Amino acid sequence: MLKRTIPHTSVLVLLAVLLMSRPVLAEDPLTRQNVVWDAPSKDSSGSMPIGNGDVGLNVWAEPNGDVVFLIAKTDAWSENARLLKLGRVRVRCSPNPLAAAGPFRQELRLRQGEIAMQLGEGPKAIAATLWVDANRPVVHLDAESPSAFEMEAKLEVWRTAPRELGKQEVDSAYGLHGGPNPIVVSADTVVDGRKDQVVWYHRNARSIWAANLKHQGLESFQAKGVDPLLGRTFGGCLLGEGLVSENATTLRSAGPRKRFSLHVYPLTAMAAEPNEWLARLEQNIQNTGAVAAEKAIAEHRAWWDDFWNRSWIRVSGTPEAEAITRGYTLQRWITACGGRGAYPIKFNGSIFTVDSPPLDPDYRRWGGPYWWQNTRLPYWPLLASGDFDLMKPMFRMYRESLPLAAERTRVWFGHGGAFLPETMYFWGMYVNENYGWQRDGLAVSELTNHYIRREYTASPELMAMMLDYFAFTEDESFLRETLLPTCDALLEFWDKHYQRDAEGRLVMYPGQALETYQDAANPTPDVAGLRWVLGRLLELPERHAGAERREFWTRLLAAIPPLPTGDENGEKIILPAGKIFGGPGNSENPELYAVFPFRLYGVGKPDLDVGRRTYAKRKFRGASGWRQDDTQAALLGLTDEAAGLVASRAASRDEGSRFPAFWGPNFDWIPDQDHGGNLMMALETMLLQADAGKILVLPAWPKSWDVAFKLHAPGRTTVEGVYRSGKFESLKVTPERPVEVCPP
């Protein structure tokens, strides 16, 4: 067994070294946002989230003294394409440190990337620290006491036998519901005979992938692609110093000690058979365990220190300021804890779903597919926060889905290019329920779900986000390998999919304006999106794009119809589409996509009054979940409106959850990543806006809100300032360049 114990004296030396290596501050402002609880929790609803971007835990302590945590991973996709938990671990110490109802403290330490617990007091008190290594796939729980104690670590699994999902649960396998077959969850396997280890896994012996392709007329892609579910195996191993096997699911201390360390090694891998996965697991344990504990914790804390130093927003001076600052900071924590894995953040809970009796922690409303309109919202704010590394999984998933998207376009429509669907499995296919189970008399390209059947807005918005990413990072390899190839495929679709009118302009019909106007021509989100994207592409230097691409972009831009506008009481407003047939089917405002995400109207741009008038006349209003009124108000310089909506959003939370940034469920699930993502984006946009080579500071900031901030802008620029009592105490732009400070 690998020895990873840090002797108590070594811990003190390490802490001294870490402290000496950093400037001594009177107070770290980030510590004010640490979450501290002084009482244990009865169940997982009282959990704290922690993670390393790929592996995530929900952690809580129960009144009986047990420390419990759920384990999740971003790539633990089941045979039904559900994102499952790996399992639950229960740690019990004897004697029980809370037996005498002694004091309790649980603290999420953001700067250090750890959760610290103090259970009880006096010589029998136990101090525990839990952290998920920011650089390696391993979880550490260290516990120590002035007196010797014993420890038990037990794996708890709930997928103990194959079972069919009940009526309350089928939404967690969204896309399979209503189909011809029952939705069956396979059982986990706990491995017997592992000396001083607990090892378990869930293995996909079957897959929905091939049937999904066949049902939608894409059998031709089976020979070109690889089944991403079949053989996928995920689970982990528990082991620790001084812990020996009691049975296949339990480790127990060999004798009393003053310190124990428990390690959890999660693993997901595609494996031809279980022994291959077990060999990979053992290799991971060896590789990770070979790193000295002092080195691992120093590098872990350095990662989190660097993360928090990238950017910050700290609002003060008003009653709502604390909730806004805390909401922004903790949402950024959740995003970092679940945003560096193999797949994008799930809008409906990320990897931090918990038990919702009678439903188990694998349940999430809307299941495993990705909705573009929801998936995008945690990602837009990562530009201003400088968290560019967290954007890569999302770009990678959509980039890797393009070959399948191109095949679908060829088979369904008989032309080149590719389009991105509104809802899709991570490999790029519509779910079968949205496509339609009953296909009698339908063309292969016809979806029965009218909410999304002709919604193609994901394509221009993904391109817009990629263009911003390049503008911020100036990453030329991203431009060559991701941005330009993606634009080539997606723009070819728009060029070839629609007929043209007598003037050579595209007639975007049949079409729809988001999910709201499901039968529309020339929908505003698509028109605005293509105009925005093509204009931005043409701003790229010719050396990046080449003459042939620029000629195509110029020609296509000339073919995009004008933005739909109209007159209301003699005043110009933006319309949701050129023509609308029928009433609304959802509650989005497609006309305001010309403000966000496609920033044609805004502060410092022509016709600001048109944008503001359109916003004032919007049909649907709100700032919870995926609604984006607060960001659109900020982009239009509507300061009081934006401030009120942001304050309202930050004050909202799930009453059934203890953690203050577990928003929801709203339209989706808990913790709602759209709600928190919109909070981050709106607050950033109130502080900083950057377009067309200009940086606007405080474009929608209330004079009564004091703030210290550091944010990112295009051209690898950072803007850092302190604004108090209506004026700047400091403002630093790196590298030096002009900024325009807007009057608050």
Tell whether 261 and 123 lie within a shared domain: yes
* CATH assignment of the domain containing 41: 2.70.98.50
* CATH assignment of the domain containing 706: 1.50.10.10
CA 152/CA 252 separation, integer angstroms: 4
pLDDT of res. 100: 76
Contact 525, 457 (CB under 8 A): yes
Range of lowest pLDDT (26-35, 367-376, 494-503, 692-701): 26-35
CA 387/CA 627 separation, integer angstroms: 23
Closest of 510, 496, 520 to residue 593, by C-alpha: 520
pTM of the full structure = 0.95
Tell whether 249 and 380 lie within a shared domain: no
Tell whether 305 and 336 lie within a shared domain: no
Tell whether 371 and 498 lie within a shared domain: yes
Contact 741, 731 (CB under 8 A): yes
Q: Tell me if 315 is assigned to some domain.
A: no
The domain tally of the chain equals 2
Amino acid in position 177? H
Helix spans in 128-219 (H): 209-215
Tell whether 287 and 344 lie within a shared domain: no
Of 283, 310, 337, which marks where a domain is finished? Answer: 310
pLDDT of res. 14: 35
Contact 650, 642 (CB under 8 A): no
Amino acid in position 513? A
Closest of 647, 649, 587, 597 to residue 618, by C-alpha: 587
pLDDT of res. 744: 65
Range of lowest pLDDT (96-110, 179-193, 222-236, 492-506): 96-110
The pLDDT tens digits of the residues spanning 5-38 come to 333 333 333 333 333 344 444 589 999 999 999 9
Sign of CA pseudo-dihedral 617, 512, 600, 568: negative
Tell whether 301 and 348 lie within a shared domain: no
Q: Tell me if 317 is assigned to some domain.
A: no
Q: What is the mean pLDDT of the chain?
A: 95
CA 5/CA 294 separation, integer angstroms: 10
The pLDDT tens digits of the residues spanning 629-638 come to 999 999 999 9
The percentage of the chain sitting over the pLDDT mark of 70, rounded to a whole number, equals 96
CA 67/CA 61 separation, integer angstroms: 4
Q: Tell me if 717 is assigned to some domain.
A: yes
* Kind plus residue range of the DSSP H or E element containing 571: strand 571-574
Tell whether 305 and 335 lie within a shared domain: no
The pLDDT tens digits of the residues spanning 506-518 come to 999 999 999 999 9
DSSP character for 88? E
Look at residue 1 and tell me whether its pLDDT is greater than 70: no
Tell whether 30 and 83 lie within a shared domain: yes
CA 57/CA 64 separation, integer angstroms: 20
Helix spans in 482-617 (H): 484-497, 524-538, 542-545, 547-559, 608-616
Of 310, 345, 379, which marks where a domain is finished? Answer: 310
Tell whether 364 and 438 lie within a shared domain: yes
Q: Tell me if 637 is assigned to some domain.
A: yes
CA 494/CA 489 separation, integer angstroms: 9
Residues 6 or more apart from 253 whose CB is under 8 A from it? 150, 151, 152, 242, 243, 244, 260
Tell whether 275 and 332 lie within a shared domain: no
Per-state percent for the chain, helix, strand, coil, to nearest 5? 35, 25, 40
CA 314/CA 710 separation, integer angstroms: 9
Burial class (CB in 10 A: 0-12, 13-18, 19+), 489: buried
pLDDT of res. 13: 33
pLDDT of res. 4: 38
Q: Tell me if 316 is assigned to some domain.
A: no
Look at residue 3 and tell me whether its pLDDT is greater than 80: no
CA 403/CA 432 separation, integer angstroms: 19
Closest of 247, 254, 250 to residue 238, by C-alpha: 250
Look at residue 738 and tell me whether its pLDDT is greater than 60: yes
DSSP character for 355? -
CA 38/CA 103 separation, integer angstroms: 7
Tell whether 47 and 103 lie within a shared domain: yes
CA angle 542, 543, 545 (to 5 degrees): 60
pLDDT of res. 99: 87
Q: Tell me if 372 is assigned to some domain.
A: yes
* DSSP helix/strand/coil, 201: strand
The percentage of the chain sitting over the pLDDT mark of 90, rounded to a whole number, equals 94
Of 310, 337, 359, which marks where a domain is finished? Answer: 310
DSSP character for 441? T
CA 268, chain centre distance (Å): 19
Q: Tell me if 74 is assigned to some domain.
A: yes
Look at residue 156 and tell me whether its pLDDT is greater than 60: yes
The pLDDT tens digits of the residues spanning 475-488 come to 999 999 999 999 99
DSSP character for 635? H
* Domain hosting residue 66, numbered range: 8-310
Average pLDDT of span 540-553: 94
CA 133/CA 51 separation, integer angstroms: 8
Q: Tell me if 2 is assigned to some domain.
A: no
pLDDT of res. 26: 56
Match 């189970």 to its residue by tokens.
437
Look at residue 665 and tell me whether its pLDDT is greater than 50: yes
CA 555/CA 356 separation, integer angstroms: 54
The pLDDT tens digits of the residues spanning 403-462 come to 999 999 999 999 999 999 999 999 999 999 999 999 999 999 999 999 999 999 999 999
Tell whether 728 and 648 lie within a shared domain: yes
Average pLDDT of span 347-375: 97
